[in-house]
Amino acid sequence: MLLWVGLGNPGDKYAGNRHNIGFMAIDAIGDTHGFTPEKSKFKGLIREGSISVDGRPIKVLLLKPQTFMNESGRSVQQAMQFYKIPIDKVTVFHDELDLAPGKLRMKTGGGIAGHNGLRSIRQHVGEDFHRARLGIGHPGQKNKVHGYVLSDFAKSEKVWVEDYIDALARAADRLADGAHDKYQTEVDRLAPPPGAKSRRNG
């Protein structure tokens, strides 16, 4: 079984925040691939299902910690322990300031660039989990970061955000197959980042 974790803050107040793009990705994956309805478990909300890879179903557990960002690791640790999921089967979807909006980059381990959700997960389960870094861009000044990530995407960003989230879900079979480079490539093909020369529907 694979464990895919989306990071965000619980509650309607935060639902549209840039910081919650991990939640948005997990919701889209579950909806697109017909996962079970959400239920409360492991201090979070989970959905269970499978994603077909070359005709074989790969079991995936989707998790959205409901502990607030800086305690996300407690939820992830409980799910991993219950299902005996090793760290190399865990992928965390999170907002990434250091990537242009609409860019996806996969990474395993390494620095956390001050992200409180990643810090908590690293403290509880170690650092060698996979990361789907979801580009949201940077406000330009360090003192503006807090307000930027906790504000909603602008109306002018709606098209690329929706396309991006949809692409993350539609290409999920590549991720389920462990083909991280192919996942990046397919997401970029389905939803080229804003400013790319063309936006193909694929």
Active site residue 33: no
Determine phi and psi for 22, rounding to 5 degrees: -65, -40
CB 26 within 8 A of CB 8: no
Selected residue with higher pLDDT from 185 and 198: 185
pLDDT at 2 over 70: yes
> In this model, does residue 112 exceed pLDDT 90?
no
Task: For the chain, report the end-to-end CA distance as a whole number of angstroms.
Answer: 29
Average pLDDT over residues 118-141: 95
2-190 maps to CATH 1.10.10.10: no
Mean pLDDT of 84-112: 95
The reported pLDDT for the residue numbered 201 is: 45
What is the pLDDT at residue 111?
85
Angle between helices 72-83 and 116-125 (to 10 degrees): 40
Per-residue pLDDT reduced to its tens digit, 37-77: 999 999 999 999 999 999 999 999 999 999 999 999 999 99
pLDDT of residue 155: 94
CA dihedral 98, 66, 88, 136 (to 10 degrees): -20
Q: Is the pLDDT of residue 170 over 90?
A: yes
Write out the two tokens for 113. Answer: 């660039």
pTM of the model: 0.94
What mean pLDDT is predicted for residues 185-189? 96
Asked if residue 147 has pLDDT above 90, the reply is yes
Give me the pLDDT at residue 202, please: 43
User: For 116-129, what is the mean pLDDT?
Assistant: 96
Name the catalytic one among 19, 33, 130, 180: 19
Element (H, E) at 53: strand 44-53
Please give the single-letter amino acid code of residue 156. Answer: S
pLDDT, residue 183, reads 98
What contacts 128, CB < 8 A, 6 or more positions away? 87, 88, 108, 109
Structure tokens at 117: 């959700």
Does residue 86 register a pLDDT over 50?
A: yes
* Angle ∠(174,165,117) on CA atoms, nearest 5: 90
Return the amino acid letter for 117.
G
Q: At what angle do helices 158-170 and 180-190 cross, to 10 degrees?
A: 140
Beta bridge partners of 44: 41, 65
Four-residue CA torsion sign, 81, 168, 50, 30:
positive
